[in-house]
Amino acid sequence: MKKAPSSPDSARLVTLIPGDGIGPEVISAAVAVIEKSGVRLRWDEQLAGMAAVRHVGNPVPDALIKSLRRTGVALKGPLETRVGEGYRSINVYLRKTFNLYANLRPVQSFKGVHTPFRDVNLVVVRENTEDLYAGLEHEITPGVVESIKVITSRASRRIARFAFEYARREGRSCVTAIHKANIMKLSDGLFLKCAREVSSDFPEIRYDEQIVDAACMRLVSDPQAFDVLLLENLYGDIVSDLCAGLVGGLGVVPGANYGDKGAIFEAVHGTAPDIAGKGLANPIAAILSGAMLLEYLGHHQAARRIRDATGMVLQSGETLTRDLGGSATTRQITDAIIAALPARASSAADRA
């Protein structure tokens, strides 16, 4: 996967993966908003997951991999992964294949979205390539299975450095490593040791550690106490859904998977089979993931315009989807965000 140089004069090619379930609905909303933001992109649409199984009999078609290698960047919808059966997660496969080691999920309160908390503003940084997600499971004997948790110092240092560099760049003040090293003394102990070592290179950023169970309790009682959360893969998966619940749910939290040579942008949520195909999905998480993609490509002002327009629509409260207490459809809230987009800047000014 290579990070092609982006040029303001020619539209950048981006892989587009509509995905399964509500994926096509929310991804087409995100594309519509990006197109109205004034940024010119070319989309290379590719199938993955169940959609690809249905069309070409393979959840990870070669064309998808070729496209990702060529573009180095993708906007992706969720992919179905069956529970306890079927093929291994395609998300995990893509993250490992392209070494997208850092999963970043900004979790922020929105005015107009009613939750028990105000002013939540934290970022989940999740290690994306190892831990129990390595998928090393086997049956020792009937009734006894073993699942191996892999933690390496290389990946732990790399994700800790990513979290601290992110904190430094974004002017954030504290990184909290979340762990269970009281029980998993070797694996989580190694993760913590690496985080501590890396923290010494960032003296201006406070470093803190919390055991994952206590951190969950604190997150649902005093979420404003957190800034950047640094977690292994599995804790990061669980805690990021918990954090989404603090600010209005899975419909509003975007995400990105970064590597040194490319990135895939996708919402935290899954395929939402209970509402798929009904036009009810909240597209905001996908739209804000699209804004993160624009940031990555250097279109900072367009990304800000999308975030501002989304904030305005949420604050007005007139056009909210069902998950946020309203009755608007995916299409209606997308149109409202497009209508709220401020006038475009020129392409050159946009990249300033």
User: Where does this chain bind ligand NAI (CB under 6 A)?
Assistant: 22, 26, 78-81, 91, 250-251, 266, 269-275, 281-282, 285, 323
Which of residues 48 and 181 has its CB atom nearest to ligand NAI in the complex? Answer: 48
Q: What's the one-letter identity of residue 240?
A: S
Which of residues 81 and 109 has its CB atom nearest to ligand NAI in the complex? Answer: 81
Q: DSSP letter string over 41-94?
A: EEEEE---HHHHHHHHS-SS-HHHHHHHHHHSEEEE------SSSSSPPHHHHH
Question: Min. distance of Cβ 162 from ligand NAI in angstroms?
Answer: 19
**Are the beta carbons of 34 and 286 closer than 8 angstroms?**
no
Q: State the greatest distance between any 2 C-alpha atoms of the chain, in Å, as a whole number.
A: 65
Question: Min. distance of Cβ 348 from ligand NAI in angstroms?
Answer: 34
**Are the beta carbons of 242 and 229 closer than 8 angstroms?**
no
Please state, in angstroms and rounded to a whole number, the distance separating the CA atoms of residues 53 and 45: 16
Which of residues 275 and 338 has its CB atom nearest to ligand NAI in the complex? Answer: 275
Distance of CA 261 to the CA centre of its chain: 17
The H or E element that residue 139 is part of is strand 131-141
Which of residues 91 and 176 has its CB atom nearest to ligand NAI in the complex? Answer: 91
The H or E element that residue 242 is part of is helix 233-246
Q: What's the one-letter identity of residue 184?
A: M
Which of residues 130 and 323 has its CB atom nearest to ligand NAI in the complex? Answer: 323
Query: Tokens for 69?
Result: 């290698």
Which of 84, 260, 98, 298 lies closest to 165, judged by CA? Answer: 260
Which of 41, 32, 30, 46 lies closest to 6, judged by CA? Answer: 41
* Number of helices and strands in the chain (H, E): 12, 12
Question: Min. distance of Cβ 38 from ligand NAI in angstroms?
Answer: 25
Question: Min. distance of Cβ 350 from ligand NAI in angstroms?
Answer: 28
Please state, in angstroms and rounded to a whole number, the distance separating the CA atoms of residues 236 and 99: 17
Question: Min. distance of Cβ 285 from ligand NAI in angstroms?
Answer: 6
Residue nearest to ligand NAI (CB): 270
Question: Min. distance of Cβ 90 from ligand NAI in angstroms?
Answer: 8
Question: Min. distance of Cβ 50 from ligand NAI in angstroms?
Answer: 9
Which of residues 49 and 223 has its CB atom nearest to ligand NAI in the complex? Answer: 49
Which of residues 156 and 271 has its CB atom nearest to ligand NAI in the complex? Answer: 271
Phi and psi angles of residue 75, each rounded to the nearest 5 degrees, phi first: -110, 125
Question: Min. distance of Cβ 248 from ligand NAI in angstroms?
Answer: 10
Which of residues 38 and 49 has its CB atom nearest to ligand NAI in the complex? Answer: 49
